[in-house]
Chains A and B, each alone.
Chain A
Amino acid sequence: DAMVIQNPRYQVTQFGKPVTLSCSQTLNHNVMYWYQQKSSQAPKLLFHYYDKDFNNEADTPDNFQSRRPNTSFCFLDIRSPGLGDAAMYLCATSREAGAYEQYFGPGTRLTVT
């Protein structure tokens, strides 16, 4: 089945220790998104890519970076995680930019100790 895959599902990292989250998709969609979602809050868009064209949201902290080496894969790097970065990180795709539904991966739950 075509899908969005995120690894790992659960990640524990230490305060200040860099961590990378990964996402892959078999949907062949052009657009990929990274969201941060904290409990009972709206998903917050961190980055999105149209193909390899990178778009950084204005209020995404510099501590977060992203890479999309090819159509299928996207990575989220957190350079120096703080306690406030503990959250669910959701990867999503859409066929094109515009009014298309987004398909979400299962998410990575990040814990910072």
Chain B
Amino acid sequence: GQNIDQPTEMTATEGAIVQINCTYQTSGFNGLFWYQQHAGEAPTFLSYNVLDGLEEKGRFSSFLSRSKGYSYLLLKELQMKDSASYLCAAMDSNYQLIWGAGTKLIIKP
């Protein structure tokens, strides 16, 4: 079956760095997306990886290893506004998105 695993909740300190991991199993693979979702709001796109390696975009970076079925989202210089859920979603061979349940990130002062 197709599956996404990511931690349910993580806590980090303002100004610090946090890494949110995601492992996936899909029938075929057409890339991996990360979305941010604040409580009660819609998801917003953060990143897309289809090739192995690290993609950096400001304070946020995303990494992919296709051979390991693994990705992570790295958030640097954490700010209180980064408190949100982070959803990992893998695209299968039919271009269907398989979504994770999200990792709730709590930022403490």
Contacts and interface: CB of A to CB of B under 8 A. Distances in A.
Interface of A: 40-45, 88, 90, 92, 97-99, 101-107, 109
Given A40-B104, A41-B101, A42-B101, A107 B96 contact: no
Nearest to A91: B42
A92 B59 CA distance: 26
B43 A99 contact: no
Shortest 6 CB-CB distances between A and B: which pairs?
Answer: A104-B42, A42-B99, A101-B45, A42-B101, A99-B31, A99-B30
Contact of A45 (B4, B45, B85, B97): B97
Nearest to B100: A42
B41 A107 contact: yes
B30 A40 contact: no
Contacts of B4: 42
Nearest to A90: B42
Interface residues of B, number: 24
Nearest to B95: A98
A107 B41 CA distance: 7
Nearest to B94: A97
Contacts of A45: 96-97
B31 A102 contact: no
Contacts of A97: 95
Interface string B78-109: 00000001010001000111011110100000
Interface string B10-50: 00000000000000000000110100000011111100101
B9 to A, nearest CB: 9
A28 B35 CA distance: 22
Nearest to A41: B101
A90 B40 CA distance: 11
B101 A104 contact: no
